[in-house]
Chains A and B, each alone.
Chain A
Amino acid sequence: MEITIYAVFLILIVALVIVRKREVKRINERNYLQAYFDIFKHPVIERSDRITAWERKSYNQAYPETYVSTPYSSSSEKIVSIHKAI
């Protein structure tokens, strides 16, 4: 009985870790989507520049074979495609 309860306890901790990982993934996806819509809160002039930059990054991620590294771009950034996100 006691060993069974300890086994359940260990399984529960593993389940908690797995659920937390899934949640973090879900939260990150939602944050990218939220960031896209947050662009529209800015003035129109700033908005167009930001959307262009966003689309360029997402295009580079969706088609990495056409990605050209520049001193200003960071390859380690994880950017989700707008089309995928929406």
Chain B
Amino acid sequence: MITTEEAYLINKVYVLIYSVILIYGVKAKTIEKTEMILLPCLMVGTFSIYYILQHSSFQDFYLYDALNCLSIVVVSLFVHNERRVNHSKSVYFIYGLLLFKFLMYMVIYRVRVIIYDTDAPIMWLINTQSVLILLCDSLIVLILSLQVSKWKLRFMQFS
């Protein structure tokens, strides 16, 4: 089970990595538009977890987190459609991970908030959910980093 302080720390690391990738994308000569659209959405989504942690009650916390995952996909899809940019396979995979996170949040909401009163009998489920969410986030960062490593900076054209 992840405490609030640990969640803050992990989110800080993710926001930092997304910022680095975004700055790299701005400086790069050749970029993929599809990842550059998804990156700010992910950054805002990750950052908004601070707000959710501070201002939501225990009853609504998982619902807001699930909505956060959905909203990232919705905004990204809307911008892709509006700018007529084709999704890459990696972006579809990231959408899949976000939707999986959404389902995990909804399951834990149903089980932890509605069905059970105490955490003791479902500790294994809470731990599994934490691990899976962390795994999904790490995979998203890893996939984005791998995609970004294909981009070239401006000064690389002279080499």
Q: How large is the interface on B (under 10, 10 to 19, 20 to 34, 35 or more residues)?
A: 10 to 19
A2-B63 in contact (CB<8A)? yes
A-B contacts counted at CB < 8 A amount to 37
How many residues of chain A get a CB closer than 8 Å to chain B's CBs?
Answer: 15
B70-A12 in contact (CB<8A)? yes
CA distance A26 to B86 in the complex (A): 9
CA distance A23 to B77 in the complex (A): 12
A19-B70 in contact (CB<8A)? no
Main secondary structure of the interface of A (DSSP, over half): helix
B80 → chain A closest CB, angstroms: 7
Q: Interface residues, chain A, CB within 8 Å of chain B? A: 1-2, 5-6, 8-9, 12-13, 15-16, 19-20, 23, 26-27
19 more contacts with CB within 8 A, not counting A5-B67, A15-B77, are A1-B63, A2-B63, A2-B109, A5-B63, A5-B70, A5-B106, A8-B70, A8-B74, A9-B99, A9-B102, A12-B70, A12-B73, A12-B99, A19-B77, A19-B81, A20-B92, A23-B87, A26-B84, A27-B86
